Structure 1
Amino acid sequence: MDLFRKCMVPVEMCPGDAKMDKSIVHDVVGGSTRIPIVQQLHQDFFKGKKLCKSIKPDEAVAYGGVVQAAIFSGEGNEKVMDLLLFDVTPLSLGLETAGCTPAKTTCRLAICTPPADQDRNRDQSVTQDEVNIETIQQFV
């Protein structure tokens, strides 16, 4: 039972991360909601809210992937091409800079902008002239 309760920690963090109260959640959907004990834990957390089991989570993920691929490839129909998808990074990301110090490049829960938006890109350069190979450390 302890393991199942630990699985609820990210669920409990979600409303705070989204800066919203859990009482305004419309539907609770997800693959884990197929497991009876997890269903009960979710219902308890959301004050008895009935879980939405009519949406098949595996199909929803596959559908989302197809829509995103259509947008990125430019091959979608007009309705698909008008969609603007946003994603967030669950962890802060960074690069190692001169002096072996990490520099945060993306904060936790930052919105990942579409590739066309270049405003958030940062130039990185090497610290020595005529370098043929450079190792870049990435931090998560």
Structure 2
Amino acid sequence: MATVTLGDIRAARERIAGKVERTSIVLSASLSERLGVPVHLKLEHRQTTGSFKLRGASNAVASLDAEEKARGVVAASTGNHGRALAHAAKLEGMRAVICMSRLVPKNKLDEIRRLGAEVRIVGNSQDDAQQEVERLVTEEGLVMLPPFDHPA
């Protein structure tokens, strides 16, 4: 995997500006005391979708070209990435398909659907969901945006 440069970080910041919340950073007195150094926490749970995953999903979607956006996106998820990708795709008016196993709680499925994504329930594991993602990439031409290890 390529090294992420400061320029890459600045470009990502520009791409996601206005699409994510600027969350607070607070000093954790208890962690600072325990570790003997100042520890600050970034309150990413305050993002619209409830986690830091919105930053990566928004950046990945914003990095797609027009042809890729027209094809739509797909990912396997157990919740947070799926919710973030559904939100990011909705902002761009794109199709999003989120593949999940039968073990994912209903409230997570409902929230992803509420955001306009198509949810595919596949098998009993994340591996099963990922196989469906790969099938959709091959057969329908969707763009895979994984929850981690993505260059954007």
Per the TM superposition, whether the score is higher than 0.5 is no
Q: Quick check: which has more Rg, 1 or 2?
A: 1
More helix by share: 2
TM-score (norm: length of structure 2):
0.27
TM-score (norm: length of structure 1):
0.29
